[in-house]
Structure 1
Amino acid sequence: MAIAELRSTITATAARDTGIDFVRALCVLGVVVLHSLMVGVTVTDTGPLFANASDGSWWITPLSWVLQVMPLFFVIGGFAGYTSLLRAQQRGGTAREFVAARIHRLVLPAVVTIGVVGVALTVLLANGVPADLVATAGYRYGQPLWFLGVFLLCQVLLPLFAAAHRRAPWITIGLLVAAAVAVDAVRDATGIDGVGFVNLAFVWLALQQLGFFFADGRIDSLTRRTRTVIGVAAVAALVATFVTGVYSPDLIANINPPTTSLLLVGVAHTMVLSLMRDRLAAWSTRPLPTRFRTFVTPRAMTIYLWHMPVLLAMAGASAVFSLTTGMALPTPSSFEWWMTRPLWLVTVVALTAGLALLLAGIEARRIPTPTRSAKRLFAASAIGTLAIVGLLVVGTTPMTAMIAVALLITSLRLSRPRHGLSAAWPSRRPGSDATSARAMQNT
């Protein structure tokens, strides 16, 4: 299929793909459920103990095969970003506007969340909560923020890699995959796990690149038999890496740092998604799936950013309840603990949904006029990423949260022009500003 034909196909299907939106919403829910099951709270003679309930447990491996959705999330992110960018460019928008919109959409809600968490940690310390418990809470909060930093990086680089995909699709993704494999090889040869963190770029960029193949129709143009064979081969290769000891069968363990096993997961997920795309599109328009996806889609980042503070607050409340009533909390992974998980999950989802309903206006706020300066956008991207990396490396404390908020606000300001914050986008031709703004924001 020629590039011109692929572009016309994307233009002809300008309406949102409700099936893809539904799957993305399921991915968000899957992340919330997975993190909820990792929370372990016990109270000992020395005080509360907060730990990862999945550490050393038997159930995390089979569960990871169901709930390790991050590869699919980045594939869908590539799909959505590629189609959004191309449509907006066809309406007169620019790649710089796309990048500015992504910075705004991802960074703005993070400023609020990190700021609130920083204040909460300060209040806990001021009220005599032991510093080690506050440090644990800050550490647990900061762990999932890797996604924000990496997704921001991938989306900022998306126009560059989309252009490379249009010129040389197979060479581009091949180089990314080869680089990811090379990083794993060096890590294995040297025994230095820190080397693997380089794959925070290569693995997730390769998965985003796979989403471009899904967006331009190349994957769907394959026969069903070919897609089935590719999917089965990816799973078989994945199992082979487990059997030979190359990678852990726990797919969650393969995310920190990320390994190339996640590429195989992403390929398998993409083939299944492609094979089921028509059914998903039809099913996603039914009343219940429609309500679910229309609630989650515009609030996805808000849900992701707030579900961990909700979990930490619930963990703290559980410890306080046990200390004040004398009732023992069930041991993580015990039968009694599993019996409490349904109520725990329902509570997490309900509280997170309530916060998302209350705060989603922040995420949905339309970006003011984006800057046309490539240097300012580069600086905005670098500073925003640095803020998140700082929280991950140093930990979330009142001080680091304050610094991160200051850096993120600087990132937002740099993504806008120096002269002010106009409510309208610059127009390339009559009527193009509003349509391109909606196309870039509504993904």
Structure 2
Amino acid sequence: MPRSFLAQARKVDEATPDSRSREVDFLRAAAITVVVLGHWTIIAVSATGGIEPHGLLDQARWTHPLTWVFQVMPIFFLVGGYSNALSWRSARRRQTGYAEWLRARLRRLGLPLIPLLLVWLATCVIALAVGAEPASVQLASQMALVPTWFLAAYLLVVIVAPPCLILWERWGWWSIIAGIGLAGIIDLISIVTESTLAGYPNYLLVWASFHQFGYAWLDGRLSSIRRCLLLFVIGAVGLGLLVGFGPYPVSMITAGTDTISNSAPTRVTMAFLGMAQAGIVLMLQRPLAKLLRSPGLWFLTVLVNQRIMTWFLWHLTALTALANVLIGLDADALLPTPLTGIWWLTRPLWALVLLAITGVLVAIFGRFETPAPDDRPAPPMWMPIAASAAICAGLAIMADTGMVNDRGVTWIWPVLPLVGMVAFGVVRLPGRRTAKS
């Protein structure tokens, strides 16, 4: 390794306090990286079929069991629970109110969205103006904005994190059991009535309930191997029963061939998958902590976490852009038929090219992930809640439909989060600096 890298790695390592849980940062970075690499593999691109969002899963059902390993969004919510509980307890000690705390979380999560939405708005307007087919532009924008469904779900969980922490502190495990039980009832209603819309409350119920395992981790309630093993067994057995004897499909990632999706809307199966995964990773916590004492590995973890939102939000823009360029150039030789031998052999090269493109995007837009310090007075409580609602509503629709329909750009959905962040105080406007008294 270059000496400069090693020197910087040692400097970061020495500056990290012993009280910091390095495993939390590593698991966050690892989970998002697995999601990115998974998307780049699952989405099939060919000269004849174009962009197929579920290509690998639709064409190779043998890959469906592998999603039990590669669907790692539960790990992000586990880490989120740990971090949000730590953050809110710190805010309580400093006597920082809920509204100010939530605005700070929104700034960290919402500001990186601004360039993504503006770039795709401009792209859609220009593409339609030069005669591109609305269906093609709709697919491109929808594909690029798929990551925003997760951000919308995570923002919902952040909003309720403080009250959920109170429930955890008062009721312990029963708060999780009750939440997952209620999610099961929502699933039953949704599946029996064949109403996808009826299942939407589980975007909040499932993830908010599972998010509380992060509270348990922080409080040392999952520190023993025995408890972690029990958590794994409950998750694995519960998931096996739901898939084996229930209506749920094997794939934990949406496949076009399945009549029911485990992730859109989120089903109770995701909570049990998360339990199994959490049991495994927390059993490995001690050896992982020792491994992260390596300055090089810890430095890489810190680097990824510094730009993790940008890395996540832009990775499918990189794929969509490259795919459309190659298809537009009729570069058949660079787009082998999915699932053939040459296709599998070229997946590492495909990932490296996308990594380079995403790296450029991160270098350009990553600055939005480190906003200037915010010394404004605490806002009224309704303002960050209204901002959250505007962001979640816009993102949820765009992740499903993109920015375009057969009549042109659907301005309301991309503009709603942007206006919401400005109008409700997430974006700090020039000339409105007011120091706290």
TM range (shorter): 0.7 to 0.9
Matched, 1:28 2:32: yes
Task: Give the 5 Å matches for 1:175-214.
Answer: 175-214=178-217
Which residue matches 2:394? 387
TM-score of the pair, normalised by structure 2 = 0.86
* Gap change, CA 1:309 and 1:236, over 3 Å in 2: same
The residue identity in structure 2 corresponding to 1:421 is R
CA–CA distance in structure 1, aligned partners of residues 430 and 345 of structure 2: 58
State the percentage of identical aligned residues.
Answer: 28
Matched, 1:371 2:363: no
Matched, 1:294 2:305: no
* Gap change, CA 1:394 and 1:233, over 3 Å in 2: closer
TM-score of the pair, normalised by structure 1 = 0.85
Q: 2:358 aligns with which of 352, 356, 369?
A: 352
CA–CA distance in structure 1, aligned partners of residues 198 and 149 of structure 2: 16
* Per-residue deviation, residues 272-313 of structure 1 (Å, max 9, x unmatched): 222211211121231332232111112111111111111101
Which residue matches 1:277? 285
CA–CA distance in structure 1, aligned partners of residues 292 and 131 of structure 2: 49
Return structure 1 stretches of 4+ with deviation > 3 angstroms: 325-328, 398-403, 415-421
* Gap change, CA 1:352 and 1:415, over 3 Å in 2: same
The residue identity in structure 2 corresponding to 1:277 is Q
Which residue matches 1:404? 414
* Gap change, CA 1:15 and 1:365, over 3 Å in 2: farther
Q: 2:86 aligns with which of 83, 94, 110?
A: 83
Which residue matches 2:14? none
* Per-residue deviation, residues 144-196 of structure 1 (Å, max 9, x unmatched): 21111111111122122222222223343232111111011112322323322
* Gap change, CA 1:21 and 1:286, over 3 Å in 2: same
CA–CA distance in structure 2, aligned partners of residues 105 and 199 of structure 1: 25
Matched, 1:331 2:329: no
Which residue matches 1:7? none
How big is the shift at 1:393? 5.0
How big is the shift at 1:345? 0.9
CA–CA distance in structure 1, aligned partners of residues 37 and 204 of structure 2: 26
The residue identity in structure 2 corresponding to 1:94 is G
Matched, 1:113 2:121: no
* Per-residue deviation, residues 250-279 of structure 1 (Å, max 9, x unmatched): 111311121111111111222222221121
CA–CA distance in structure 2, aligned partners of residues 163 and 274 of structure 1: 23
Which residue matches 2:6? none
Which residue matches 1:439? none
Q: Contact between 1:137 and 1:312, CA under 8 Å: does it hold in 2? A: yes
CA–CA distance in structure 2, aligned partners of residues 242 and 370 of structure 1: 50
CA–CA distance in structure 1, aligned partners of residues 120 and 354 of structure 2: 17
The residue identity in structure 1 corresponding to 2:226 is R
* Per-residue deviation, residues 389-423 of structure 1 (Å, max 9, x unmatched): 33235432373357523543433441369996327
Which residue matches 2:164? 161
The residue identity in structure 2 corresponding to 1:333 is L
Which residue matches 2:274? 266
CA–CA distance in structure 1, aligned partners of residues 334 and 108 of structure 2: 43
CA–CA distance in structure 1, aligned partners of residues 377 and 60 of structure 2: 48
- Unaligned stretches of 5+ in structure 1? 1-12, 428-443
Q: Contact between 1:101 and 1:367, CA under 8 Å: does it hold in 2? A: no
CA–CA distance in structure 2, aligned partners of residues 358 and 57 of structure 1: 37
Task: Give the 5 Å matches for 1:227-266.
Answer: 227-253=228-254, 254-266=262-274
The residue identity in structure 1 corresponding to 2:369 is E
Matched, 1:361 2:367: yes
Q: 2:349 aligns with which of 324, 343, 350?
A: 343
* Gap change, CA 1:179 and 1:326, over 3 Å in 2: closer
* Gap change, CA 1:370 and 1:153, over 3 Å in 2: farther
CA–CA distance in structure 2, aligned partners of residues 370 and 272 of structure 1: 43
- Unaligned stretches of 5+ in structure 2? 1-16, 255-261
Which residue matches 1:313? 321
CA–CA distance in structure 1, aligned partners of residues 165 and 387 of structure 2: 20
Q: Contact between 2:229 and 2:279, CA under 8 Å: does it hold in 1? A: yes
Q: Contact between 1:125 and 1:134, CA under 8 Å: does it hold in 2? A: yes
How big is the shift at 1:97? 1.8
CA–CA distance in structure 2, aligned partners of residues 136 and 25 of structure 1: 28
